[in-house]
């Protein structure tokens, strides 16, 4: 039997309030919180079509830019529509790299200040290639 390599099971994010931040990301990714997650839990898991995110409550506060971040690609809306939707969920726009020709991305932060980017949808990419 040939040995298998490892698989990424979760992307784990340290945070101050695991349940609240997981709720934001569940809405952002059209995912769902695990059935056994409740307010006050020190860990919470978001299950979505693209990835499983694990949020773990830690006492440290975020102090520097993330070394790793998520890049989101909208599936059924445009990049700009997705940016507006995420702003409505509590995200903040921190660096707008969208270009007049439709290329580029938007850098945002979640409610705890973790950076992520919103790229163009596959349909938008196809229309400009």
Domains and CATH numbers, the chain: 9-59 (3.10.180.10), 69-129 (3.10.180.10)
CA atoms within 13 A on the CB side of 7: 5
What pLDDT score was predicted for residue 7? 81
Tell me the two tokens of residue 20. Answer: 């609240």
Chain-centroid distance, C-alpha 54: 11
What's the pLDDT score for residue 6? 85
The whole-number pLDDT of residue 28 equals 96
Query: What tokens does 124 get?
Result: 């938008």
Model pTM score = 0.90
Q: Residue for token digits 């693209």?
A: 50
Block residue for tokens 């102090």: 63
Q: Encode pLDDT of 10-45 as tens digits.
A: 999 999 999 999 999 999 999 999 999 999 999 999
Q: Model confidence over 42-77: pLDDT tens digits?
A: 999 999 988 899 999 999 988 888 889 999 999 999
């Amino acid at each position: 039997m040939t040995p298998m390599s490892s698989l990424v099971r979760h992307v784990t994010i340290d945070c101050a309030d695991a349940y609240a931040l997981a709720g934001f990301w569940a809405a952002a990714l059209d995912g769902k919180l695990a059935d056994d997650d409740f307010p006050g839990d020190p860990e919470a898991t978001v299950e979505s079509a693209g990835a499983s995110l694990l949020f773990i409550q830690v006492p440290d506060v975020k102090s520097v830019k993330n070394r790793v971040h998520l890049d989101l690609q909208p599936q059924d809306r445009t990049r700009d529509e997705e940016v507006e939707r995420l702003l409505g969920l509590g995200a903040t726009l921190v660096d707008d790299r969208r270009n007049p020709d439709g290329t580029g991305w938007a850098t945002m932060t979640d409610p705890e200040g973790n950076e992520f980017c919103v790229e163009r949808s596959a349909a938008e990419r196809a229309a400009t290639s």
